[in-house]
């Protein structure tokens, strides 16, 4: 037994001499194990991201949120410039407070920092306040001007909610609401009723903005679609050839066609383009919206103007003819005759009407209804054929007044 123990000791001494160690107590033991971070929510979506600066950290976090990642491992370059721990805290705070998308959808960002031999690694975890479906539906745009067609399409299809992330926008929530309603007023048949629009905004750094837009159409999606289809199918001019008409004659034809089709009413409930075109009865607001649609189909620029008439809230139109602007009040044309409300200038309209003079084009055009219908010899009016515009045939065989 003693000989066996001695042999073991001799073998141990020989091994120590071979490895260059003088004494057993001078030996340093290093145990290496693979680093396996504890994941709180889910396994990392990516595990090979390297950061060399605070800007890199910010980009990683932005990318995580943009892709909806819940966790990711990030490695810090051994030559990382800065304090890793302080930069992690700063990056998480900046992303939560200065990025519009993150402020909108991120509940919390946490991290676990570990040193792995000669570098650091961090497990980043993101908790979201929105569902994955909600994040996927966010539309990202570079400029606010790019949103016009998207907003128009949303109203055409009866979309109830829309979230836009715009990198460069100067619109406040109220200004975007006005912009949306302006889009509607340029083509009123995109919705049977003027939608009620509400916008909430989350701001990011510089001019980054995230807008949550809610539309209320006052009816079910099925009814909205059916009414839009009915208005789109309308042939407002019954195949009339418009190619030979001047802009003034087209504006007159649109006015006459509308007042033949739709009767004026003081009923405040009948204030939509649908009431005017399909219900054939509308108040001043509904008729003004319908006149915009008539002019749009005629290729004329026309807008609604909101002001007062006789001290009461009132809506009428301004139409552009050959570069000049004129007031047109189709409700008055319906009640008192075309001449009473067609091709009015600012001077003749002011007094009966009141409006924000600087918010709308100035109406100073020289043409009048009388000169359009019975031109003087020294005023050249393009030949529209042998039939005067107000005598042309409209729907159901009716003639204009």
Asked if 389 and 249 count as a contact pair (C-beta separation under 8 A), the reply is: yes
Q: What is the pLDDT of residues 167-200, one digit of tens each?
A: 999 999 999 999 999 999 999 999 999 999 999 9
Average pLDDT over residues 362-388: 69
- Alpha helix stretches (DSSP H) within 188-246: 221-232
Q: How far is CA 317 from CA 53, 122, 186, 267, 286, in A?
A: 59, 63, 12, 19, 11
Q: How far is CA 347 from CA 157, 284, 327, 343, 350, in A?
A: 42, 21, 11, 12, 5
Distance CA 153, CA 134 (A): 19
pLDDT of residue 4: 42
The Cβ of residue 38 has, within 10 Å, a number of other Cβ atoms equal to 6
Same topology between domain 49-130 and domain 234-397: no
pLDDT of residue 96: 84
Torsion angle of the four alpha carbons 333, 335, 339, 343, in this order, in degrees rounded to the nearest 10: -30
Q: Across 14-18, 111-115, 236-240, 330-334, which has the greatest mean pLDDT? A: 330-334
Question: 49-130 has which fold?
Answer: Ribosomal Protein S8; Chain: A, domain 1 (3.30.1370)
Q: What is the pLDDT of residues 236-288, one digit of tens each?
A: 887 777 788 999 999 999 999 999 999 999 999 999 999 999 999 999 999 99
Smallest Cα–Cα separation from 342: which of 363, 314, 313, 311?
Answer: 363
- Based on the number of CB atoms within 10 Å of its own CB, is 229 exposed (0-12), middle (13-18) or buried (19 or more)? exposed
Where is average pLDDT lowest: 45-49, 106-110, 323-327? 45-49
Asked if 301 and 310 count as a contact pair (C-beta separation under 8 A), the reply is: no
Query: Which residues lie closer than 8 Å to 43 by C-beta, 6 or more apart?
Result: 71
pLDDT of residue 400: 38
Mean pLDDT of the chain: 83
- CA dihedral (320, 253, 149, 184) positive or negative: positive
pLDDT of residue 132: 85
pLDDT of residue 375: 75
Domain boundaries, the chain: 49-130, 138-228, 234-397
The Cβ of residue 135 has, within 10 Å, a number of other Cβ atoms equal to 17
Q: What is the pLDDT of residues 306-318, one digit of tens each?
A: 999 999 999 999 9
Percent helix, strand, coil in the chain, to 5, is 40, 25, 35
The Cβ of residue 188 has, within 10 Å, a number of other Cβ atoms equal to 25
Q: Is the pLDDT of residue 68 over 60?
A: yes
Query: Which residues lie closer than 8 Å to 229 by C-beta, 6 or more apart?
Result: none
Question: 234-397 has which fold?
Answer: C8orf32 fold (3.10.620)
Question: Per the structure block, which two tokens stand in for 40?
Answer: 């709180």
Longest alpha-carbon distance in the chain: 141
Would you place residue 31 in the very low, low, confident or very high pLDDT band (cuts 50, 70, 90)?
very low
- Based on the number of CB atoms within 10 Å of its own CB, is 47 exposed (0-12), middle (13-18) or buried (19 or more)? middle
Distance CA 122, CA 126 (A): 13
The residue that leads in pLDDT, 51 or 380, is: 51
Q: Is the pLDDT of residue 135 over 90?
A: no
Distance CA 147, CA 157 (A): 16
Would you place residue 381 in the very low, low, confident or very high pLDDT band (cuts 50, 70, 90)?
very low
């Amino acid at each position: 037994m003693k000989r066996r123990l001695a042999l073991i000791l001799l073998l141990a001494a020989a091994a120590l001499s071979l490895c260059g160690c003088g004494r057993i107590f001078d030996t340093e033991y290093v145990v290496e194990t693979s680093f396996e971070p504890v994941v709180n929510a889910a396994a990392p979506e990516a595990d090979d991201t390297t950061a060399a600066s605070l800007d890199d950290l910010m980009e990683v976090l932005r990318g995580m949120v943009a892709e909806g990642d819940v966790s990711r491992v990030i490695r810090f370059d051994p030559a990382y410039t800065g304090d890793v721990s302080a930069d992690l805290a700063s990056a998480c705070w900046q992303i939560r407070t200065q990025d519009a998308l993150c402020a909108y959808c991120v509940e919390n960002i946490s991290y676990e920092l570990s040193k792995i031999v000669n570098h650091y690694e961090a497990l980043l975890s993101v908790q979201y306040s929105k569902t994955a479906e909600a994040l996927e539906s966010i539309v990202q745009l570079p400029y606010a001007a790019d949103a016009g067609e998207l907003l128009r399409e949303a109203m055409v299809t009866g979309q109830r909610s829309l979230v836009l992330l715009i990198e460069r926008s100067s619109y406040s929530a109220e200004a975007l609401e006005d912009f949306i309603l302006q889009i509607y007023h340029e083509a009123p048949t995109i919705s049977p009723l003027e939608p009620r629009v509400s916008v909430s905004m989350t701001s990011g750094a510089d001019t980054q903005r995230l807008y949550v837009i809610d539309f209320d159409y006052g009816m079910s999606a099925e009814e909205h679609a059916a009414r839009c289809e009915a208005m789109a199918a309308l042939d407002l001019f019954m195949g009339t050839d418009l190619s030979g008409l001047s802009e003034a004659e087209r504006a007159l034809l649109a006015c006459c066609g509308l007042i033949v089709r739709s009767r004026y009413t003081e009923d405040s409930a009948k204030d939509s383009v649908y009431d005017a075109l399909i219900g054939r009865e509308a108040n001043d607001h509904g008729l003004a919206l319908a006149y915009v649609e008539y002019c749009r189909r005629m290729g004329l620029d026309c807008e609604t103007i909101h002001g007062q008439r006789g001290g009461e809230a009132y809506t009428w139109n301004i139409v552009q003819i050959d570069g000049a602007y004129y007031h047109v009040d189709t409700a008055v044309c319906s009640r008192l005759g075309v001449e009473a409300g067609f091709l009015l200038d600012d001077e003749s309209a002011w007094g009966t009407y009141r409006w924000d003079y600087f918010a709308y084009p100035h109406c100073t055009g020289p043409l009048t209804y009388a000169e359009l219908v019975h031109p003087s010899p020294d005023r050249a009016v393009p030949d529209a054929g042998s039939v005067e515009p107000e005598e042309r045939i409209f729907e159901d065989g009716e003639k204009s007044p």
